[in-house]
Homo-oligomer: A and B are copies of this chain.
Amino acid sequence: MSQTTDVVVSAETRARLLRAGAEVFASEGFHGATVREICSKASANIAAINYHFGDKARLYEEVLSHQLGSVLLKYPPTLGTDPSAPPEDRLHAFILSFFLRVLDQSPGAWHGQLMAREMAAPTGALDRIVESILRPLSQTLNSILHEFLGPDAPAPLVSACAASVVGQILFYRHCQPVIHKLNPLLTFERADLERLARHVTDFSLAGIRAMATGGRR
């Protein structure tokens, strides 16, 4: 009569491991995360990771690509902006969607933190991510920039401007702990992100145009 074991039965273990793994990997890193903690958070047995994924490293890779894929579906780089819209608008959509992906605070959204860790400490999973996701993204930005800088703008200049744009965004992700220490009242709600995206867009448009119209000055 007393079947009191509260074992979750509906969602399959594999999916729960992916969720728990994302959370633990994000907050502890690949090295710091333990299979015991992940399995515990997933209400699964210690052997579950080996059974469903082979080993810890394989689970990590699947967590990463799953998080990346779902956040890109949620916030696509164009945010629905028409490809024929003025480049100012497309740049703004690119920047805002980047902010949304990288600082998404929805439950289960660990993509930003995971990627930040992967940058500081590449595990080998990064190579595939670069080719499948980051390179296309970079080319999208480059083609927008060419509309300001002209089709014959030298590649180093375009790369430098792309870095200037992306760097402004990623700063808020990669330096989050410091930012919150220096600026305790800053939050990352949707409205804040839209404000930040507006600033980065305006700041960058001025910078890009200065680069387009010649040198130093």
Contacts and interface: CB of A to CB of B under 8 A. Distances in A.
Interface in A156-176: 159-161, 163-164, 166-172, 174-176
A202 interface: yes
Interface in A166-217: 166-172, 174-179, 181-183, 186, 196, 198-200, 202-211, 215-217
A48 B1 CA distance: 60
Interface residues of A, number: 55
B196 A203 contact: no
Interface in A118-132: 119-122, 126-127, 130
Interface of A is mostly: helix
Nearest to A134: B178
Contact of A168 (B134, B168, B206, B208): B168
A117 interface: yes
A62 to B, nearest CB: 21
Which one of A126, A163, A169, A200 has the greatest number of beta carbons of chain B within 10 Å? A163
B119 A196 contact: no
Nearest to A160: B199
A138 interface: yes
B171 A167 contact: yes
Contacts of A159: 183, 186
Given A202-B217, A206-B210, A211-B203, A29 B121 contact: yes
B178 A171 contact: no
A72 interface: no
B182 A202 contact: no
A148 to B, nearest CB: 12
12 contacts: A113-B120, A116-B120, A120-B121, A163-B171, A163-B172, A167-B168, A202-B217, A203-B210, A203-B211, A204-B207, A205-B217, A206-B210
Interface of A: 29, 31-32, 113, 116-117, 119-122, 126-127, 130, 134-135, 138, 159-161, 163-164, 166-172, 174-179, 181-183, 186, 196, 198-200, 202-211, 215-217
The 4 closest A-B pairs by CB, nearest first: A167-B171, A206-B210, A203-B207, A31-B31
